Structure 1
Amino acid sequence: MTSARHYLLVDDTPQDRFLAQEAFEHLCPECVLTCVGSGREALELLQGPGFEPDVMLLDLNMPGMSGFEVLQIMKEDARLAHIPVVILSTSSAQQDVRQAYTLHASSYLIKSVSFADFLEQLEQVLHYWDISRTVHDKGWRSKI
């Protein structure tokens, strides 16, 4: 990886958060990964002062507030709308994919079942965002 990025993972399953942390340590030790267990926690963090990840990884099926609700609130908030959101879900339902993109998700990934496949999937995601320009890139922010 050429640059350290800050990722926010929103997933209610402790095992999935742990696997993601392990994967990040292996694939991108210089990256910062912040994990929260609910949509409400994510929004509180995002709407508070001084926290702005480069990319959010968002689960859809969570109790209390679904990933769809989090995504909709983010994209309606001018302070948060620019943050890329990658859906990372077990759902392969076409209606979920369609709804995620309708709400302006940046991409939609179906969580791989095996850890090895998940590592490969996450490596591709990290590589993509490593070479992509985001608001946090040097020189980019001043042009907005």
Structure 2
Amino acid sequence: MPVPHHFVLIDDSVTDQWLAREAFEQLCPDCTLRCFDRGAVALDWLRSAPERPDVILLDINMPGMSGFEVLEQLKADPELTLIPVVMLSTSGDRGDVSRAYTLHASSYLVKAPGFGDFLKQIDACLDYWRAAQLAHT
């Protein structure tokens, strides 16, 4: 089974993008992480990319198109629907969690507040996706 190595992060926070890049560099130097700060731009890229990412990490609260709207479009697109989407948000609101799963998110993580805890969180996420069977590969 191929190990997931290609990840996309859709998050408007430059700081969170930087933290994710640092975490991936430390935990999975063989992984690629492509970051987008707008949902529409990410969707355009995903629809035209020659190779699909293994997993998408998606924030909820973004200007323009919310993470929920991006998730809806991903799951409505037959070419993208099988890509696992991990919601990675500061919101732990039960309504947000429920909505994400209703829209077929694969997982929901509340962003850890400190880098050390965030690193552990990303490490656990990477471990999970390394062991998971991916339908789209």
Shared fold (TM-score, shorter chain, > 0.5): yes
Deviation above 4 Å: which 4+ runs of structure 1? none
Preserved CA contact (<8 Å) 2:4 2:55? no
> Hey, what's the Cα distance between the residues in 1 that align with 2:56 and 2:34?
9
SS of 2:108's partner is strand
SS of 1:81's partner is coil
Q: Map 1:1-144 to 2 at 5 A.
A: 3=3, 5-135=5-135, 137=137
The sequence identity of aligned pairs, in percent, is 52
Structure 2 unmatched runs, 5+: none
Shift of 1:41: 1.2
Q: Deviations over 1:8-62 (max 9, x none)?
A: 0000000000000000000000011111111011101111141310000000000
Query: Which letter maps to 1:64?
Result: G
Q: Deviations over 1:117-136 (max 9, x none)?
A: 00000000000001111145
Greater displacement, 33-42 / 113-122? 33-42
TM-score, normalised via structure 1 length: 0.91
> Hey, what's the Cα distance between the residues in 2 that align with 1:136 and 1:79?
9
| Larger Rg computed on CA atoms | 1
Aligned-residue Cα RMSD (Å) equals 1.2
Preserved CA contact (<8 Å) 1:4 1:32? no
> Hey, what's the Cα distance between the residues in 2 that align with 1:29 and 1:61?
28
In structure 2, the CA distance between the partners of 1:24 and 1:54, relative to structure 1 (3 Å rule), is same
> Hey, what's the Cα distance between the residues in 1 that align with 2:73 and 2:4?
27
> Hey, what's the Cα distance between the residues in 1 that align with 2:5 and 2:51?
13
